[in-house]
Amino acid sequence: MAYRIVTDSSSNVLALENENYASVPMKIMVEKEYVDNAALDVAAMVEDLRGHKGKSGSSCPNVGEWLDAFGDAEEVFAITITKHLSGSYNAAFQAAQDYMEAHPERRVCVIDSLSAGPQLMLLAEKIRACEAAGDDFETTRDKVLAYQNTLHTLFCLESVMNLARNGRLNPAVAKIAGMLGIRVAGDAEGGELALCHKPRGHRRTTRLLVDMIRERGFQDGNIIRVSHCFADEAAESFREALLAEFPNARFRLEPTTALCSFYAESGGLIIAFEGSFNEKNDNRKF
């Protein structure tokens, strides 16, 4: 096998048809363990967790799971959720070292997405395009890292309680937002969540998201990828508003799998797109 793309399951894509791709499952830990793979009923998990007030958390793939996913590929591109939210990058990096030590003729590039959700798949698609163009390993790596610096991730959440319970957000902010019915909108800055706005109402939220995307350099014809957690209506409203302003945007939509469903919670959107140079996520700094 010439090459393989491997992501952890925060990418929300567990399989790609006719592609050398593998997803390594994250896990959600409450009273029981939910493994983020194709066998999991995500809707049932979300319902189980609705109103849950006890301990909860997530765990990343271990080194052995990453190694298994690398298979026998000569070249591996591994993409992980931001290392500020998980140990997935560290595990993938150690797996890469072990893999190349066992197979000195093979190469592995591990990429910290500095994000979560659809941005991982934008990076994966760039790798696929480079491979299709016949680029060698080093050229592909350099092009993908340069491309990463043009990507942006926004999120819009109706609930932030799981983020608060796991130390990603001030619990007081989460409680007040929930009591007042305030949505939380923000972006990924250097791999960490940064709150920007607290809009009220679907219409204002949709308009705000389109404005934020324009401000970050999105151009008509660019790719935008949206993951949603049981938020079909919000996702469709956003799609219509975006295409009204950018009719040639290459819009792609997918549901969240377990890990992103856990953090985004029901009603949440995670949006990744091509834009202008993103100095806040400049991977040369990390």
**pLDDT per residue rounded down to tens, the chain (286 residues):** 589 999 999 999 999 877 799 999 999 998 889 999 999 999 999 998 887 777 788 999 999 999 999 999 999 999 999 998 899 999 999 999 999 999 999 999 999 999 999 999 999 999 999 999 999 999 999 999 999 999 999 999 887 667 656 655 555 454 544 443 556 777 877 777 766 666 666 788 899 999 999 999 999 999 999 999 999 999 999 999 999 999 999 999 999 999 999 989 999 999 999 999 988 776 654 4
The first and second tokens of residue 157, run together, are: 């959440």
Tell me the pTM: 0.92
H/E run at residue 201: none
Distance CA 42, CA 54 (A): 19
Under 8 Å between Cβ of 120 and 11: yes
Q: What are φ and ψ of residue 206, in 5° steps?
A: -60, -45
Distance CA 12, CA 58 (A): 15
Under 8 Å between Cβ of 225 and 121: yes
